[in-house]
Structure 1
Amino acid sequence: MKPDRHARTMLPIPDRQVPGLTTYDAKDPDTAYPPIEPLLPPDGAPNVLVILLDDVGFGASSAFGGPCETPNAEKLAAGGLRYNRFHTTALCAPTRAAMLSGRNHHSVGMGSITETATSAPGNSSLKPNTKAPLAMTLKLNGYSTAQFGKCHEVPVWQSSPMGPFDAWPSAGGGFETFYGFIGGENNQWDPALYNGTTPVEPPATPEEGYHLTEDLADHAVSWIRTQKALMPEKPFFVYFAPGATHAPHHVPKEWADKYAGKFADGWDVQRERTLARQKELGVVPADAELTARHDEIPAWDDMPDQLKPVLERQMEVYAGFLEHTDFHVGRVIDAIEDLGVLENTLIYYIIGDNGASAEGTVNGAFNEMANFNGMAALETPEFMRSKMDEFGSPSSYNHYAVGWAWAMDSPLQWTKQVASHWGGTRNGTIVHWPNSIEEKGGLRSQFTHCIDVAPTILEAAGLPEPTMVNGVQQSPIEGTSMLYSFNKPDEPERHDLQYFEMFGNRGIYYKGWSAVTKHRTPWVMTGGGLVAFDDDVWELYDGSVDFSQARDLAAENPEKLHQLQRLWLIEAVKYNVLPIDDRTADRANPDIAGRPTLIRGNSQQFFPGMGRLSENSVVSIKNKSFSVTAEVEVPEGGVEGVIIAQGGRFGGWSVYVTGGTAKFVYNVLGIQEFATVADTAIPAGTHQVRMEFAYDGGGLGKGGDVTLFYDGDEVGTGRVDATQALVFSADETTDVGYESGTAVSPDYTPQSSRFTGKINWVQIDTGDDDHDHLIDPEERLRVAMARQ
């Protein structure tokens, strides 16, 4: 192996011209320059594929003893290593930010998700430029880099079409190619997609067989093949992060039907079966205990009989979704094998970015936005039964019940968001690298964490941790390389101290011991008062003899507990965890939370063609009176199409024209639709079309009266009996002159939604109406200038 000629601790690597003879005439025989060589990492650096699934608990996949078949994970594990004590942060964006930087999630500003960012350094959602992402380090060392799938690390005020794009994967993130989505979740049938920073539409419809996971795999396979065809000498770094199996649980029906009847005995029995299978596989110790069900989680036998068929179907859909995801992960791995480069490809298959999600309520949800808006009561058992056959289909936005999430974390306590207990943070992980891992099918039980991935990849590639990136001095990586464990199963663990915190749930691991305290319950979105942090009850576990945290030793060993509690505080100070923040509604308000916002004042103007605007990019019309005014030009013969729409099939509103007549529809969670139609068609020519909503007041989510106007003249009235108080959608957007994603109203489809006339402008005004139903040019200018 020839010595590496680059000094790689400073990135980009400085260009250094070798001094020598400079001739006058290029034809002079003494003219000589070394050939231009492309930048490459050190000899032997492997290709790298990091696969990160979403919301998969430790006990879900068959590779770790679960009921959901994952044959490709099993195949990879048979040729590599299973890690049964690999940990995440208990939530998606923090895990991703930590994994991609090699630093703890509060160190890179991602104490929780971007939507609840505050001005505190550990919760700002802003990654310091002193902590360059792994992809950037690899790219600047000669790797080809690409990401496919989910990116939930963009601060919400930077997620509009105007950026800035510093935190987007293909800009500041270091990935030369990005195809996927920005945000926490996406509709698998009708996703909001980006190619780089440019919004793109899915290449097909659900009716044509489209599914997001398949699309992502198609792009990943194509990119890998192209990279090896054009740059075979360069290794690649591919980050494949499908939105699966995050809710909504969307999968073709035949995949769910494979599991028909397999969950009829419920979640309590399923946990027992899973633990037995885990012991057979050896992925948990033979003496591992099944942790008890907490009172907050209902027993299967206590669930209403009329709901049980729905609950079974929820789990069948989820299991099919996970198997379907593993199938498409297998396609990516197969493409690498077909190219003959699998032997020197380091693969991480991380089965979940946190524990299983318990955000679907104790009954599950046909539309999970119901719970997010405090309206879960709308989804009665009768309603759920009526929708049972639609779970997983394009007409659903579904999630499974809390009990299933708990079962998918077997044999551990709790679920996603609960960073205190292993049910929230322990995720089965497989590492495969035939060139450098001697044992096939081995098990590794050293404590590891998602911040260990980056330093492992750097060590495997023979690359130093950079001290300077883009002119900024770098802080040390906080993770520990796992490479030492690849061929030494009994080597003592090197990562022996790790804090955990999420929404006040917190814990500390130190040399086998863990001290933990659960502060809040994930599925309680509203109400449910919290105790003071100092009144939280701490538990103590000895991991050397208690794999699952089944035996609390706090009463028996108070000194050890106090030692670890003090250590948690020290680590919390070190990594910007303080102040602990368990607020919910307050953090949803950017003014209170202290994060920037694109929206100021009570008016906003839009222009034709603007679209893919997230809820954080649009003035909020929730829980208040508002009006929508548009100046449109109507051709002879009439007009059709959307003027402006926010949200989609599972909640939102739209002002549009059908049959030449203006119409306003408010869609509550896809369950209730309230429509107001004008009495007459819009005449040909230039006109102002206006919709006014007069909010009833008296609390959140109330109704109101609707009035439609043409040029200030009333042309229709109607009523909205209820509204969505907090959020329309996690992935649907606001569009002007068309509607992307799914349609708010069945009167049109996204494909038929384009406005056939001309829209000059649209304006949303919030607050009480002043009864001036026309907006003059001077008023529009005032609104525009007020937003500068």
Structure 2
Amino acid sequence: MALKEYKPGQAFSGVIGRTFDVSQPAWPSPNRARDGAPNVLFIVLDDTGYGQLGCYGSPIRTPHLDALAADGLLYNNMHTTALCSPSRSCMITGRNHHSNGMACITEGSMGYPGSNGYIPFENGMLPEILLQNGYNTYALGKWHLTPAEATSAAGPYDRWPLGRGFERYYGFLGGDTHQYYPELVSDNHQVEPETTPEQGYHLTPDLVARAKAMIADAKQVAPDKPFFMYFCTGAMHAPHHVPKEWADRYKGQFDEGWDAYRRKVFERQKALGIIPANTELSRHDPDVQDWGTLPADERRLYARMMEVFAGFLEHTDHYIGELIAFLKEIGEYDNTLIMLISDNGASAEGGPNGSVNEGKFFNNVPDDLQQNLAAIDDIGGPKYFNHYPWGWTHAGNTPFRRWKRETYRGGTADPFIVCWPKGIKAKGEIRTQYCHAIDMVPTVLDCLGIEPPTHIRGVTQAPLQGFSLKSSFDDAKAPALHVTQYFEMFGHRSLYHDGWRAVCPWPGTSFAESGRVFGDPIDYDMLIQLDAKGWELYNLNEDFAETHNLAERERDRLIAMIGMWYAEAGKYNVLPIDSRGTLRFGVERPQIAVGRKKYVYYPGTQVVPGNAAPRLINVPHSVSVHAQVPPGGAEGVLFCMGGNDGGFSFYVQDGKLTYGYNYVADKRFKVQSDEAIPEGQHIFSFEFTPTGKPDIAKGKGVPAKIALFVDGKKIGSGDLPVTIPLQLGLAAGVALGADTGAPVMEDYAAPFAFTGEVKKAMVDVSGEAVEDMESKMRMYLARQ
């Protein structure tokens, strides 16, 4: 007899007698998806420009992504917010980024509803919806949607992936990570990669292997149960890391430079029909060097940086191809709705000359051309946190102007491919309907026949703000449903309405023309001036690449659109406008534990992320570690914060207590004790005392004196002529007893675990001198 079921929450439908033989069982029915429901796969690339995929006209080989476009649809009018976390919040909620509290990346959050970094629970995420409808839900790779101060082991975990509807997660919570030494989280806890770079480890194949395993785990038990997978590579964000043989495939292919690349891609885009035939290529950007005037060494360096990027992208395509091949192998490909997108345009965070350490950008430190040239043979390997120069950024966004962080189309127009063999009849066609990342969730729900829920876990849901694209799947001429869309990023504003775009650039049309730099503030008086004279206007129906400013000719239309921008800003919590760039990273944010001057850490615990760790930038502080040194001595890391892109390490080497400081991989300083450390239990300390003032605008933190102590007795000292002004390494968490990531210092190999026993450590930011507090310190460490 078939099992009898009833829906949970309804009355029991069986029969209950006095004994089992006169009773009839009934069971709460499992949460099953409707028959034939498709799987859903989002593939999110990072920092990939409109002109960088092969199917969008690029010379970079992306055969597997091209095959998705050939088996589905390529959209030429998709838009994002111009920055990663904000765009990703749109993709996964169907609401605008300010509605999600994501005006900026989480590390740049501010205390206003539109920018606090806390995605409201009333803005339900797609996995939360699909979980209610019988789906398995998986997230892999980059997350960057949890407030940075809430990514530690103290939580709260309600805004981690598993708190927002995903059943399983494997990836990194921050904005980028070292591809050879990633900061990995599995579900709700930190893990280390199972192999090393020397053994061939790289994050992308690791993510693909985990993705295939997650799907297989469930499909072997419930083959008809659909899944939603949110697969987000660390690629193509810096660091551009790829095994050398992949980069070498492109040797010599970029020697003609970025202007030649733009011209070739532009003509290819026209030939493919990606852009309208009447499109004019946007101008050579004033901030980009003329390739022909560059010295030969610079051209050689920049070409190699692009070879590395191209190899990185082909490598990424290869492993995404493995994931797609796996879906075909298990018979799931035809009924999987795949959406591939980039989160913003190509990135200019490498500056005009490229960088071997992206951390310099976040600390206002100019790049050193000679240092970059010296690194040329190792770019792409684990030693550097490299990024190409913004000439390649501009080229990567062909045919548009500008780049990531700005709301010209170079920052906001992105690749978008939709493939669903069972659900879309059209193959290999181009779609021109205007769309935005907020349209992805409504499209999925429309395809699945699911109504947006009114409640999720008891929380009343806000309306979706995007529009379904389903009508365009099999009708190239279907009218675009998305008619109006605002943009704002770091004070750079624009508005799309019915084929027109109004743009108010900040800090200007270019740095060279405005005389300003990224992060210059917009105060109230400046905003008034910008609204009066700073807006531009483009007719996209005739000017796809924003090359002809019609602001004077269409003044009435422009004024109306400026007013419309403010109406949208009021509707979606856009104000206040805050153009301060990297300075926002230093803003104090709420912590779970407040008012602390002393922090105690224990061995065997998870790395404490930088935003939940004590802020040791430009302030006096000390670190003391209670450790046991065995007979014969010990070596290794006692305490560290940062990675090979910047930070400090407190360690024992050659028997001597050592303090090492990595200034954004530009300079490294070392202070060692005058004598060997003693055996037995001791408290090893260093004291950081500022000796001058910082110059943050020029990328310089305070100079400082370092003093080393054993049990409160000074055993060495030295000076730091310069320190990091804003942010230690991009993953600058507290690690005790080992340097678990890319090593801070070059004179040891990770993890350089301490060979004695670390018992506890204390960080003190009270300013109290170590030699005056040694006895108190012993008592404090003993109590904790």
TM-score normalised by the shorter chain: which range applies?
over 0.9
- Pairing of 1:681-760 with structure 2 (within 5 A): 681-700=676-695, 701-760=701-760
Look up the equivalent residue of 1:247 and give its one-letter code: A
Post-superposition Cα deviations, 1:612-633, rounded to whole Å, max 9, x if no partner, equal 2122122122223322222222
> Equivalents in 2 of 1:763, 1:235: separation in Å?
49
- Pairing of 1:289-368 with structure 2 (within 5 A): 289-350=280-341, 352-368=342-358
Deviation larger for 401-410 or 677-686: 677-686
Partner of residue 520 from structure 1, selected from 483, 493, 507? 507
Cα distance change, pair 699–67 in 1 and its aligned pair in 2 (3 A): same
Partner of residue 142 from structure 1, selected from 119, 134, 146? 134
Check if 1:132 corresponds to 2:119: no
Report if the CA contact (8 A) 1:45-1:462 is conserved: no
> Equivalents in 2 of 1:305, 1:245: separation in Å?
27
Give 1:15 shift.
2.4
- Which position in structure 2 is the counterpart of 1:75? 67
- Which position in structure 2 is the counterpart of 1:372? 362
- Which position in structure 1 is the counterpart of 2:217? 226
Report if the CA contact (8 A) 1:598-1:617 is conserved: no
Report if the CA contact (8 A) 1:622-1:724 is conserved: yes
Partner of residue 579 from structure 2, selected from 563, 577, 582? 582
Give 1:368 shift.
1.4
Deviation larger for 559-568 or 647-656: 647-656
> Equivalents in 1 of 2:172, 2:102: separation in Å?
18
Report if the CA contact (8 A) 2:673-2:717 is conserved: yes
- Which position in structure 1 is the counterpart of 2:235? 244
Look up the equivalent residue of 2:668 and give its one-letter code: E
Look up the equivalent residue of 2:654 and give its one-letter code: G
> Equivalents in 1 of 2:758, 2:517: separation in Å?
43
Partner of residue 621 from structure 2, selected from 613, 617, 626? 626
Cα distance change, pair 14–287 in 1 and its aligned pair in 2 (3 A): farther
User: Structure 2-normalised TM-score?
Assistant: 0.94
Cα distance change, pair 183–609 in 1 and its aligned pair in 2 (3 A): same
Give 1:681 shift.
2.4
SS at match of 2:347: coil
Look up the equivalent residue of 1:24 and give its one-letter code: R
Cα distance change, pair 474–220 in 1 and its aligned pair in 2 (3 A): same
- Which position in structure 2 is the counterpart of 1:385? 373
Look up the equivalent residue of 1:265 and give its one-letter code: E
- The count of residues paired between Structure 1 and Structure 2 equals 765
Cα distance change, pair 18–116 in 1 and its aligned pair in 2 (3 A): same
Report if the CA contact (8 A) 1:354-1:424 is conserved: yes
CA RMSD of aligned residues (A): 2.2
Report if the CA contact (8 A) 1:42-1:463 is conserved: no
Deviation larger for 541-550 or 336-345: 541-550
> Equivalents in 1 of 2:590, 2:671: separation in Å?
37
Partner of residue 392 from structure 2, selected from 382, 404, 407? 404
> Equivalents in 2 of 1:250, 1:781: separation in Å?
41
Partner of residue 498 from structure 1, selected from 478, 485, 492? 485
- Which position in structure 2 is the counterpart of 1:607? 602
Look up the equivalent residue of 1:292 and give its one-letter code: R
Report if the CA contact (8 A) 2:507-2:518 is conserved: no
SS at match of 2:451: coil
- Which position in structure 2 is the counterpart of 1:482? 469
- Which position in structure 2 is the counterpart of 1:415? 403
Report if the CA contact (8 A) 1:191-1:731 is conserved: no
State the identity as a percent. Answer: 39
Look up the equivalent residue of 1:657 and give its one-letter code: V
Give 1:650 shift.
2.2
Cα distance change, pair 126–528 in 1 and its aligned pair in 2 (3 A): closer
> Equivalents in 2 of 1:451, 1:330: separation in Å?
26
SS at match of 2:114: helix
Report if the CA contact (8 A) 2:14-2:24 is conserved: no
- Which position in structure 2 is the counterpart of 1:534? 528
- Which position in structure 2 is the counterpart of 1:10? none
> Equivalents in 2 of 1:272, 1:209: separation in Å?
37
Give 1:695 shift.
1.7
Partner of residue 425 from structure 1, selected from 412, 415, 429? 412
Give 1:781 shift.
7.9
> Equivalents in 2 of 1:447, 1:585: separation in Å?
32
> Equivalents in 2 of 1:782, 1:737: separation in Å?
18
Give 1:588 shift.
2.4
Give 1:19 shift.
4.5
Post-superposition Cα deviations, 1:555-583, rounded to whole Å, max 9, x if no partner, equal 11111111111111101100000111112
Report if the CA contact (8 A) 1:258-1:320 is conserved: yes
Report if the CA contact (8 A) 1:638-1:660 is conserved: yes
- Which position in structure 2 is the counterpart of 1:552? 549
Give 1:153 shift.
0.6
Give 1:778 shift.
8.2
Give 1:362 shift.
0.4
- Which position in structure 1 is the counterpart of 2:698? none
Deviation larger for 444-453 or 617-626: 617-626
- Which position in structure 2 is the counterpart of 1:657? 652
Give 1:589 shift.
3.0
Report if the CA contact (8 A) 1:41-1:461 is conserved: no
Report if the CA contact (8 A) 1:47-1:236 is conserved: yes
Look up the equivalent residue of 1:681 and give its one-letter code: A
Cα distance change, pair 585–375 in 1 and its aligned pair in 2 (3 A): closer
Report if the CA contact (8 A) 1:738-1:754 is conserved: yes
Look up the equivalent residue of 2:146 and give its one-letter code: V
- Which position in structure 2 is the counterpart of 1:173? 164
Check if 1:43 corresponds to 2:35: yes
- Which position in structure 2 is the counterpart of 1:278? 269
Give 1:486 shift.
0.6
> Equivalents in 2 of 1:746, 1:57: separation in Å?
34
Check if 1:764 corresponds to 2:752: no
Give 1:768 shift.
6.8
Report if the CA contact (8 A) 1:694-1:768 is conserved: no
SS at match of 1:776: helix
Partner of residue 469 from structure 1, selected from 446, 456, 476? 456
User: Structure 1-normalised TM-score?
Assistant: 0.93
Deviation larger for 421-430 or 533-542: 533-542
> Equivalents in 1 of 2:473, 2:103: separation in Å?
31
